[in-house]
Structure 1
Amino acid sequence: MRGADRRYGRFGTGLAAAAIALTACSASSGERTEVPTFPSDAQVMATAMPNADQGVLPDDCTRILTVGDLEAVLGLPLGSVDVRTTRGVPEPTVSRTERVACSYNGTAGGPARGRTLLNVNSSAYADPDAATKQWRVNADAETGDRRELPIGSASAVLVERSDEAVLMVVNGVTNLTLVLPNQQLPGDRPRGDALVDLALRVLPAVSTSGTAPPPASPSPTASGNAAGLQVAPS
Protein backbone atom coordinates (compact mmCIF):
# COMPACT_ATOMS: atom_id res chain seq x y z
CA MET A 1 0.00 0.00 0.00
CA ARG A 2 2.86 2.27 0.80
CA GLY A 3 4.29 1.53 -2.70
CA ALA A 4 0.96 2.34 -4.27
CA ASP A 5 0.72 5.49 -2.24
CA ARG A 6 4.16 6.45 -3.40
CA ARG A 7 3.20 5.77 -7.03
CA TYR A 8 -0.01 7.79 -6.78
CA GLY A 9 1.86 10.47 -4.91
CA ARG A 10 4.37 10.86 -7.74
CA PHE A 11 1.53 10.77 -10.28
CA GLY A 12 -0.38 13.41 -8.34
CA THR A 13 2.72 15.58 -8.15
CA GLY A 14 3.09 15.32 -11.95
CA LEU A 15 -0.53 16.30 -12.51
CA ALA A 16 -0.14 19.27 -10.24
CA ALA A 17 3.00 20.41 -12.09
CA ALA A 18 1.21 20.06 -15.44
CA ALA A 19 -1.76 22.03 -14.16
CA ILE A 20 0.53 24.81 -12.93
CA ALA A 21 2.30 24.89 -16.31
CA LEU A 22 -1.02 25.06 -18.19
CA THR A 23 -2.24 27.85 -15.89
CA ALA A 24 0.97 29.81 -16.45
CA CYS A 25 0.69 29.42 -20.23
CA SER A 26 -2.97 30.48 -20.12
CA ALA A 27 -2.14 33.58 -18.11
CA SER A 28 0.80 34.41 -20.40
CA SER A 29 -1.39 34.01 -23.48
CA GLY A 30 -4.03 36.31 -22.06
CA GLU A 31 -1.55 39.07 -21.29
CA ARG A 32 0.46 38.84 -24.54
CA THR A 33 1.40 42.25 -26.04
CA GLU A 34 0.35 42.78 -29.66
CA VAL A 35 3.20 42.83 -32.18
CA PRO A 36 3.49 46.41 -33.48
CA THR A 37 2.98 47.08 -37.18
CA PHE A 38 4.34 49.99 -39.18
CA PRO A 39 3.04 51.67 -42.36
CA SER A 40 4.91 51.11 -45.58
CA ASP A 41 6.93 53.89 -47.20
CA ALA A 42 4.16 54.36 -49.76
CA GLN A 43 1.56 54.78 -47.02
CA VAL A 44 3.74 57.30 -45.20
CA MET A 45 4.24 59.34 -48.37
CA ALA A 46 0.53 59.23 -49.18
CA THR A 47 -0.27 60.57 -45.71
CA ALA A 48 2.45 63.21 -45.70
CA MET A 49 1.77 64.45 -49.24
CA PRO A 50 -1.85 63.68 -50.16
CA ASN A 51 -1.86 66.33 -52.89
CA ALA A 52 0.20 69.45 -52.30
CA ASP A 53 -1.20 71.38 -55.25
CA GLN A 54 -4.26 73.47 -54.49
CA GLY A 55 -5.20 74.19 -58.10
CA VAL A 56 -4.06 73.90 -61.71
CA LEU A 57 -0.51 75.12 -61.07
CA PRO A 58 2.19 73.23 -59.18
CA ASP A 59 2.86 74.78 -55.76
CA ASP A 60 6.61 74.25 -56.10
CA CYS A 61 8.75 75.89 -58.79
CA THR A 62 11.03 72.86 -58.94
CA ARG A 63 8.09 71.10 -60.63
CA ILE A 64 7.47 74.00 -63.02
CA LEU A 65 11.03 74.22 -64.34
CA THR A 66 13.79 72.14 -62.81
CA VAL A 67 17.09 73.74 -61.91
CA GLY A 68 18.81 71.11 -64.05
CA ASP A 69 16.83 72.13 -67.15
CA LEU A 70 17.74 75.79 -66.70
CA GLU A 71 21.40 74.95 -66.12
CA ALA A 72 21.39 72.92 -69.34
CA VAL A 73 19.84 75.72 -71.42
CA LEU A 74 22.12 78.41 -69.97
CA GLY A 75 25.23 76.23 -70.08
CA LEU A 76 25.85 76.42 -66.33
CA PRO A 77 27.44 73.73 -64.13
CA LEU A 78 25.24 71.51 -61.99
CA GLY A 79 24.39 72.91 -58.58
CA SER A 80 25.00 76.53 -59.57
CA VAL A 81 21.35 77.71 -59.56
CA ASP A 82 18.89 78.25 -56.70
CA VAL A 83 15.11 78.73 -57.08
CA ARG A 84 12.57 80.56 -54.92
CA THR A 85 8.81 79.98 -55.06
CA THR A 86 6.25 82.70 -54.30
CA ARG A 87 2.52 81.94 -54.38
CA GLY A 88 0.21 84.77 -55.33
CA VAL A 89 -3.44 85.32 -54.50
CA PRO A 90 -6.54 85.13 -56.72
CA GLU A 91 -7.62 88.30 -58.51
CA PRO A 92 -11.39 88.07 -59.11
CA THR A 93 -11.50 91.31 -61.13
CA VAL A 94 -9.67 89.58 -64.00
CA SER A 95 -10.93 86.04 -63.17
CA ARG A 96 -7.45 84.93 -62.09
CA THR A 97 -7.70 81.95 -59.76
CA GLU A 98 -4.04 81.48 -58.82
CA ARG A 99 -0.50 82.63 -59.50
CA VAL A 100 2.96 81.17 -58.89
CA ALA A 101 6.16 83.21 -59.34
CA CYS A 102 9.56 81.51 -59.70
CA SER A 103 12.89 83.29 -59.36
CA TYR A 104 16.01 81.43 -60.52
CA ASN A 105 19.28 82.90 -59.27
CA GLY A 106 22.92 81.90 -59.42
CA THR A 107 24.45 80.55 -56.24
CA ALA A 108 26.98 82.76 -54.46
CA GLY A 109 29.82 80.39 -55.32
CA GLY A 110 28.75 79.70 -58.91
CA PRO A 111 29.66 81.54 -62.12
CA ALA A 112 26.50 83.69 -61.96
CA ARG A 113 27.39 84.84 -58.37
CA GLY A 114 23.84 85.45 -57.13
CA ARG A 115 22.65 87.15 -60.33
CA THR A 116 19.04 86.68 -61.46
CA LEU A 117 19.04 84.23 -64.36
CA LEU A 118 15.31 83.80 -65.12
CA ASN A 119 11.90 84.75 -63.77
CA VAL A 120 8.89 82.57 -64.54
CA ASN A 121 5.35 83.71 -63.68
CA SER A 122 2.45 81.30 -64.14
CA SER A 123 -1.22 82.26 -63.74
CA ALA A 124 -4.45 80.30 -64.08
CA TYR A 125 -7.85 81.78 -64.94
CA ALA A 126 -11.46 80.76 -64.65
CA ASP A 127 -11.78 80.03 -68.38
CA PRO A 128 -9.77 80.29 -71.62
CA ASP A 129 -11.45 83.57 -72.63
CA ALA A 130 -10.35 85.27 -69.41
CA ALA A 131 -6.83 83.89 -69.84
CA THR A 132 -6.59 85.13 -73.44
CA LYS A 133 -7.97 88.56 -72.58
CA GLN A 134 -5.47 89.12 -69.77
CA TRP A 135 -2.62 87.75 -71.88
CA ARG A 136 -3.41 90.32 -74.56
CA VAL A 137 -3.64 93.16 -72.02
CA ASN A 138 -0.28 92.24 -70.51
CA ALA A 139 1.41 91.74 -73.87
CA ASP A 140 0.18 95.09 -75.20
CA ALA A 141 1.64 96.81 -72.15
CA GLU A 142 5.18 95.61 -72.96
CA THR A 143 7.55 97.88 -74.89
CA GLY A 144 10.36 96.81 -77.20
CA ASP A 145 10.84 94.86 -80.41
CA ARG A 146 7.99 92.39 -80.55
CA ARG A 147 6.61 89.59 -82.63
CA GLU A 148 3.89 86.98 -82.20
CA LEU A 149 4.60 83.30 -82.70
CA PRO A 150 2.90 79.95 -82.09
CA ILE A 151 4.39 77.37 -79.76
CA GLY A 152 2.53 74.21 -80.66
CA SER A 153 -1.13 74.85 -79.75
CA ALA A 154 -0.18 77.84 -77.57
CA SER A 155 0.07 81.48 -78.66
CA ALA A 156 2.97 83.68 -77.63
CA VAL A 157 4.41 87.18 -77.91
CA LEU A 158 8.17 87.71 -77.76
CA VAL A 159 9.37 91.17 -76.66
CA GLU A 160 13.08 92.00 -76.73
CA ARG A 161 14.78 94.95 -75.05
CA SER A 162 18.43 95.77 -74.51
CA ASP A 163 18.43 94.50 -70.93
CA GLU A 164 16.04 91.54 -71.18
CA ALA A 165 13.75 89.43 -73.34
CA VAL A 166 10.18 88.52 -72.37
CA LEU A 167 8.10 85.64 -73.69
CA MET A 168 4.38 85.75 -72.87
CA VAL A 169 2.34 82.61 -73.58
CA VAL A 170 -1.35 81.72 -73.32
CA ASN A 171 -2.48 78.10 -73.40
CA GLY A 172 -6.01 77.16 -72.35
CA VAL A 173 -6.69 78.70 -68.93
CA THR A 174 -2.99 79.31 -68.26
CA ASN A 175 -0.78 82.35 -68.83
CA LEU A 176 2.98 82.04 -68.70
CA THR A 177 5.57 84.82 -68.67
CA LEU A 178 9.30 84.13 -68.86
CA VAL A 179 11.76 86.99 -68.35
CA LEU A 180 15.37 86.36 -69.37
CA PRO A 181 17.84 89.09 -68.36
CA ASN A 182 20.52 89.88 -70.93
CA GLN A 183 23.38 87.39 -70.53
CA GLN A 184 25.82 85.37 -72.58
CA LEU A 185 24.22 82.18 -73.88
CA PRO A 186 26.02 79.06 -75.12
CA GLY A 187 27.08 79.40 -78.74
CA ASP A 188 25.72 82.96 -78.82
CA ARG A 189 22.24 81.47 -78.94
CA PRO A 190 19.49 84.09 -79.51
CA ARG A 191 17.55 85.00 -76.38
CA GLY A 192 14.22 84.31 -78.04
CA ASP A 193 15.36 80.84 -79.05
CA ALA A 194 16.36 80.04 -75.45
CA LEU A 195 13.04 81.37 -74.12
CA VAL A 196 11.01 79.16 -76.45
CA ASP A 197 13.13 76.17 -75.42
CA LEU A 198 12.38 76.95 -71.77
CA ALA A 199 8.67 77.52 -72.45
CA LEU A 200 8.40 74.09 -74.07
CA ARG A 201 9.77 72.59 -70.87
CA VAL A 202 7.41 74.58 -68.62
CA LEU A 203 4.11 74.33 -70.51
CA PRO A 204 3.39 70.63 -69.81
CA ALA A 205 3.76 71.32 -66.07
CA VAL A 206 1.40 74.32 -65.90
CA SER A 207 -1.19 73.33 -68.51
CA THR A 208 -4.40 71.48 -67.76
CA SER A 209 -4.78 67.96 -69.13
CA GLY A 210 -5.11 67.87 -72.88
CA THR A 211 -4.04 71.48 -73.52
CA ALA A 212 -0.24 71.21 -73.36
CA PRO A 213 1.38 71.82 -76.75
CA PRO A 214 3.30 68.97 -78.36
CA PRO A 215 7.11 69.13 -78.33
CA ALA A 216 8.59 70.86 -81.36
CA SER A 217 10.79 68.91 -83.74
CA PRO A 218 14.57 69.16 -83.14
CA SER A 219 16.25 72.18 -84.67
CA PRO A 220 20.06 72.16 -84.71
CA THR A 221 20.30 75.88 -85.37
CA ALA A 222 18.10 78.82 -84.52
CA SER A 223 16.87 81.27 -87.10
CA GLY A 224 15.63 84.80 -86.57
CA ASN A 225 12.07 84.13 -87.69
CA ALA A 226 9.21 82.81 -85.61
CA ALA A 227 9.29 79.29 -87.01
CA GLY A 228 12.97 78.91 -86.24
CA LEU A 229 12.34 79.69 -82.58
CA GLN A 230 10.72 76.34 -81.89
CA VAL A 231 13.29 74.10 -80.24
CA ALA A 232 12.68 70.63 -78.90
CA PRO A 233 13.20 70.18 -75.17
CA SER A 234 16.03 67.84 -74.28
Structure 2
Amino acid sequence: MRGAGGGRAARALLAAALALAIGACGTSEAEPTALPTFPTADGSGPAATAADDGRVIPVDCGRILAAPDLEAVMGLPLGSVAVRTTVGVPQPAVGRTERVSCRYTRAGDGGGRALLDINATAYRDPAAASAQWQVNVKAESGERRDMPLGSAPAVVFEKRGQAVLMVAHSTSNLTLVLPDQPLPGGKTRVDALVDLALRVLPAVSTDPSTAPPPPPLGEPVSQAGASR
Protein backbone atom coordinates (compact mmCIF):
# COMPACT_ATOMS: atom_id res chain seq x y z
CA MET A 1 0.00 0.00 0.00
CA ARG A 2 2.80 2.37 0.87
CA GLY A 3 4.44 1.55 -2.47
CA ALA A 4 1.24 2.30 -4.42
CA GLY A 5 0.68 5.53 -2.50
CA GLY A 6 4.25 6.60 -3.09
CA GLY A 7 3.85 5.93 -6.81
CA ARG A 8 0.71 8.07 -7.00
CA ALA A 9 2.45 10.91 -5.13
CA ALA A 10 5.43 10.73 -7.45
CA ARG A 11 3.16 10.83 -10.51
CA ALA A 12 1.28 13.83 -9.08
CA LEU A 13 4.50 15.71 -8.44
CA LEU A 14 5.70 14.94 -11.98
CA ALA A 15 2.42 16.16 -13.48
CA ALA A 16 2.62 19.40 -11.50
CA ALA A 17 6.20 19.99 -12.62
CA LEU A 18 5.22 19.42 -16.27
CA ALA A 19 2.31 21.84 -15.96
CA LEU A 20 4.60 24.55 -14.57
CA ALA A 21 7.13 23.97 -17.34
CA ILE A 22 4.45 24.19 -20.07
CA GLY A 23 3.07 27.38 -18.52
CA ALA A 24 6.51 28.96 -18.48
CA CYS A 25 7.13 28.07 -22.13
CA GLY A 26 3.77 29.53 -23.11
CA THR A 27 4.66 33.02 -21.81
CA SER A 28 8.39 33.29 -22.54
CA GLU A 29 7.90 34.59 -26.09
CA ALA A 30 5.11 37.04 -25.28
CA GLU A 31 5.68 40.64 -26.41
CA PRO A 32 5.98 43.13 -23.53
CA THR A 33 2.84 45.24 -23.34
CA ALA A 34 2.55 49.00 -23.20
CA LEU A 35 1.90 50.41 -19.75
CA PRO A 36 -0.87 53.03 -19.59
CA THR A 37 -1.10 55.48 -16.72
CA PHE A 38 -3.76 58.03 -15.96
CA PRO A 39 -2.51 61.28 -14.42
CA THR A 40 -4.95 63.70 -12.84
CA ALA A 41 -7.11 65.96 -14.99
CA ASP A 42 -4.84 68.95 -14.46
CA GLY A 43 -1.93 67.00 -15.92
CA SER A 44 0.10 67.05 -12.70
CA GLY A 45 1.49 63.53 -12.70
CA PRO A 46 4.03 62.15 -10.26
CA ALA A 47 7.46 63.66 -9.89
CA ALA A 48 10.49 61.94 -11.40
CA THR A 49 10.74 58.32 -10.34
CA ALA A 50 13.25 55.52 -10.64
CA ALA A 51 11.54 54.61 -13.93
CA ASP A 52 12.98 57.82 -15.38
CA ASP A 53 16.60 56.94 -14.55
CA GLY A 54 18.62 57.20 -17.74
CA ARG A 55 15.57 57.93 -19.90
CA VAL A 56 15.27 60.61 -22.56
CA ILE A 57 11.46 60.69 -22.72
CA PRO A 58 9.65 61.25 -19.38
CA VAL A 59 7.17 58.53 -18.45
CA ASP A 60 4.58 61.15 -17.44
CA CYS A 61 2.94 63.25 -20.16
CA GLY A 62 2.33 65.97 -17.59
CA ARG A 63 6.09 66.58 -17.79
CA ILE A 64 6.15 66.48 -21.59
CA LEU A 65 3.36 69.05 -22.01
CA ALA A 66 1.43 70.08 -18.91
CA ALA A 67 -2.33 70.41 -19.29
CA PRO A 68 -2.30 74.10 -18.20
CA ASP A 69 0.13 74.89 -21.04
CA LEU A 70 -2.16 73.26 -23.58
CA GLU A 71 -5.13 75.11 -22.10
CA ALA A 72 -3.28 78.42 -22.46
CA VAL A 73 -2.24 77.78 -26.07
CA MET A 74 -5.69 76.53 -27.09
CA GLY A 75 -7.67 79.13 -25.15
CA LEU A 76 -9.38 76.53 -22.96
CA PRO A 77 -10.62 76.99 -19.39
CA LEU A 78 -8.18 76.09 -16.64
CA GLY A 79 -8.71 72.53 -15.43
CA SER A 80 -10.63 71.49 -18.55
CA VAL A 81 -8.01 69.12 -20.00
CA ALA A 82 -7.25 65.52 -18.98
CA VAL A 83 -4.08 63.67 -19.97
CA ARG A 84 -3.47 60.00 -20.66
CA THR A 85 0.07 58.59 -20.83
CA THR A 86 0.94 55.33 -22.61
CA VAL A 87 4.50 54.03 -22.29
CA GLY A 88 5.53 51.91 -25.27
CA VAL A 89 8.24 49.30 -25.72
CA PRO A 90 11.61 49.48 -27.50
CA GLN A 91 11.89 48.45 -31.15
CA PRO A 92 15.50 47.32 -31.66
CA ALA A 93 15.01 46.69 -35.39
CA VAL A 94 14.86 50.44 -36.05
CA GLY A 95 17.01 51.50 -33.08
CA ARG A 96 14.10 52.81 -31.03
CA THR A 97 14.80 52.71 -27.30
CA GLU A 98 11.79 54.60 -25.89
CA ARG A 99 8.27 55.60 -26.86
CA VAL A 100 5.69 57.61 -24.94
CA SER A 101 2.29 58.58 -26.32
CA CYS A 102 0.15 61.34 -24.84
CA ARG A 103 -3.55 61.96 -25.45
CA TYR A 104 -5.16 65.17 -24.26
CA THR A 105 -8.96 65.24 -24.02
CA ARG A 106 -11.66 67.26 -22.37
CA ALA A 107 -11.82 66.44 -18.66
CA GLY A 108 -14.85 64.38 -17.77
CA ASP A 109 -15.70 63.12 -21.26
CA GLY A 110 -14.36 59.62 -20.61
CA GLY A 111 -11.38 59.87 -22.95
CA GLY A 112 -13.40 60.81 -26.01
CA ARG A 113 -12.32 62.94 -28.96
CA ALA A 114 -8.71 64.06 -28.67
CA LEU A 115 -7.71 67.72 -28.39
CA LEU A 116 -4.10 66.76 -29.14
CA ASP A 117 -2.03 63.60 -29.60
CA ILE A 118 1.72 63.53 -29.01
CA ASN A 119 4.06 60.66 -29.86
CA ALA A 120 7.63 61.08 -28.57
CA THR A 121 10.34 58.53 -29.36
CA ALA A 122 14.04 58.16 -28.60
CA TYR A 123 16.66 56.23 -30.60
CA ARG A 124 20.13 54.81 -30.01
CA ASP A 125 21.76 57.61 -32.04
CA PRO A 126 20.87 60.60 -34.26
CA ALA A 127 21.30 58.54 -37.44
CA ALA A 128 18.66 56.02 -36.35
CA ALA A 129 16.30 58.83 -35.30
CA SER A 130 16.73 60.63 -38.62
CA ALA A 131 16.26 57.45 -40.66
CA GLN A 132 13.02 56.56 -38.89
CA TRP A 133 11.79 60.17 -39.11
CA GLN A 134 12.26 60.06 -42.87
CA VAL A 135 10.38 56.75 -43.08
CA ASN A 136 7.50 58.21 -41.08
CA VAL A 137 7.43 61.41 -43.15
CA LYS A 138 7.24 59.43 -46.40
CA ALA A 139 4.36 57.37 -45.01
CA GLU A 140 2.30 60.44 -43.97
CA SER A 141 -0.33 61.94 -46.25
CA GLY A 142 -1.70 65.43 -46.79
CA GLU A 143 -0.42 68.74 -48.09
CA ARG A 144 3.24 68.84 -47.06
CA ARG A 145 5.27 71.87 -45.98
CA ASP A 146 8.77 72.01 -44.54
CA MET A 147 8.67 73.81 -41.19
CA PRO A 148 12.12 73.65 -39.51
CA LEU A 149 12.19 74.56 -35.84
CA GLY A 150 15.57 76.17 -35.40
CA SER A 151 18.10 73.51 -36.39
CA ALA A 152 15.52 70.71 -36.04
CA PRO A 153 14.05 69.53 -39.36
CA ALA A 154 10.27 69.41 -39.28
CA VAL A 155 7.44 68.82 -41.73
CA VAL A 156 3.78 69.71 -41.37
CA PHE A 157 0.98 67.87 -43.18
CA GLU A 158 -2.42 69.51 -43.47
CA LYS A 159 -5.40 67.40 -44.38
CA ARG A 160 -9.12 67.35 -43.87
CA GLY A 161 -9.93 67.16 -40.17
CA GLN A 162 -6.41 67.49 -38.74
CA ALA A 163 -2.84 68.71 -39.11
CA VAL A 164 0.30 66.74 -38.27
CA LEU A 165 3.74 68.10 -37.35
CA MET A 166 6.73 65.73 -37.41
CA VAL A 167 10.06 66.88 -35.89
CA ALA A 168 13.50 65.26 -35.64
CA HIS A 169 15.92 66.55 -33.01
CA SER A 170 19.14 64.75 -32.14
CA THR A 171 18.18 61.24 -30.94
CA SER A 172 14.48 62.08 -30.53
CA ASN A 173 11.50 62.22 -32.89
CA LEU A 174 8.28 64.04 -32.13
CA THR A 175 4.87 63.85 -33.80
CA LEU A 176 1.95 66.08 -32.86
CA VAL A 177 -1.55 65.54 -34.27
CA LEU A 178 -4.01 68.41 -33.89
CA PRO A 179 -7.64 67.69 -34.86
CA ASP A 180 -9.70 70.57 -36.23
CA GLN A 181 -11.20 72.68 -33.45
CA PRO A 182 -11.76 76.35 -32.62
CA LEU A 183 -8.51 78.21 -31.92
CA PRO A 184 -8.12 81.58 -30.18
CA GLY A 185 -7.05 84.87 -31.74
CA GLY A 186 -7.20 83.77 -35.37
CA LYS A 187 -4.48 81.17 -34.73
CA THR A 188 -4.09 78.57 -37.50
CA ARG A 189 -3.56 74.85 -36.99
CA VAL A 190 0.10 75.22 -37.96
CA ASP A 191 0.57 78.17 -35.58
CA ALA A 192 -0.76 76.04 -32.73
CA LEU A 193 1.36 73.01 -33.67
CA VAL A 194 4.57 75.04 -33.88
CA ASP A 195 3.83 76.70 -30.53
CA LEU A 196 3.16 73.34 -28.88
CA ALA A 197 6.20 71.62 -30.44
CA LEU A 198 8.51 74.35 -29.16
CA ARG A 199 7.21 73.68 -25.65
CA VAL A 200 7.62 69.91 -25.94
CA LEU A 201 11.06 69.63 -27.56
CA PRO A 202 13.14 70.61 -24.48
CA ALA A 203 11.35 67.90 -22.46
CA VAL A 204 12.14 65.08 -24.91
CA SER A 205 15.71 65.95 -25.92
CA THR A 206 19.00 64.48 -24.76
CA ASP A 207 20.35 68.05 -24.57
CA PRO A 208 17.50 70.49 -23.89
CA SER A 209 19.88 73.42 -24.38
CA THR A 210 20.07 72.66 -28.12
CA ALA A 211 16.29 72.64 -28.57
CA PRO A 212 14.55 75.80 -29.80
CA PRO A 213 13.38 77.80 -26.77
CA PRO A 214 9.66 77.66 -25.99
CA PRO A 215 7.75 80.92 -26.50
CA PRO A 216 6.24 82.73 -23.50
CA LEU A 217 2.65 81.69 -22.90
CA GLY A 218 0.20 84.04 -24.51
CA GLU A 219 2.59 85.32 -27.18
CA PRO A 220 1.88 84.39 -30.81
CA VAL A 221 4.38 82.22 -32.67
CA SER A 222 4.84 83.06 -36.33
CA GLN A 223 5.48 80.24 -38.80
CA ALA A 224 8.36 82.20 -40.25
CA GLY A 225 9.88 82.63 -36.82
CA ALA A 226 9.92 78.89 -36.28
CA SER A 227 12.90 78.48 -38.61
CA ARG A 228 15.05 81.13 -36.94
TM over 0.5: yes
Specify the SS of the correspondent of 1:62.
helix
Specify the SS of the correspondent of 1:150.
coil
Once the 2 structures are TM-superposed, how far is the Cα of residue 188 of structure 1 from its aligned partner?
Answer: 2.5
Once the 2 structures are TM-superposed, how far is the Cα of residue 158 of structure 1 from its aligned partner?
Answer: 0.3
TM-score calculated relative to the size of structure 1: 0.70
Q: 1:87 to 1:177 in 2, by over 3 A?
A: same
TM-score calculated relative to the size of structure 2: 0.72
Q: Does structure 1 conserve the Cα–Cα contact (< 8 Å) formed by 2:199 and 2:215?
A: no
Per-residue CA deviations over 1:93-138 (Å, capped at 9, x if unaligned) read 10000100000000137xxx94310000000001000000100110
Once the 2 structures are TM-superposed, how far is the Cα of residue 221 of structure 1 from its aligned partner?
Answer: 5.7
Cα RMSD (Å) of the superposition? 2.6
Once the 2 structures are TM-superposed, how far is the Cα of residue 199 of structure 1 from its aligned partner?
Answer: 0.4
Corresponding residue number in structure 2 for 1:172 = 170
Task: Work out the CA distance in 2 between the residues paired with 1:121 and 1:208.
Answer: 16
Identity of aligned residues (%): 58
Task: Work out the CA distance in 2 between the residues paired with 1:115 and 1:185.
Answer: 16
Q: 1:50 to 1:182 in 2, by over 3 A?
A: closer
Alignment map for 1:1-234 (pairs within 5 Å): 51-54=50-53, 55-108=55-108, 114-209=112-207, 212-215=210-213, 226-229=223-226
Task: Work out the CA distance in 2 between the residues paired with 1:214 and 1:199.
Answer: 9
Once the 2 structures are TM-superposed, how far is the Cα of residue 220 of structure 1 from its aligned partner?
Answer: 6.2
Q: 1:230 to 1:183 in 2, by over 3 A?
A: farther
Q: Which structure 2 residue ranges, 5 or more long, are not aligned?
A: 1-46
Once the 2 structures are TM-superposed, how far is the Cα of residue 217 of structure 1 from its aligned partner?
Answer: 7.1
Poorly superposed stretches of 4+, deviation over 4 Å: 216-223, 228-231
Task: Work out the CA distance in 2 between the residues paired with 1:58 and 1:52.
Answer: 9
Q: Which structure 1 residue ranges, 5 or more long, are not aligned?
A: 1-47
Task: Work out the CA distance in 1 between the residues paired with 2:63 and 2:122.
Answer: 16
Number of residue-to-residue matches in the alignment: 180
Task: Work out the CA distance in 2 between the residues paired with 1:197 and 1:191.
Answer: 10
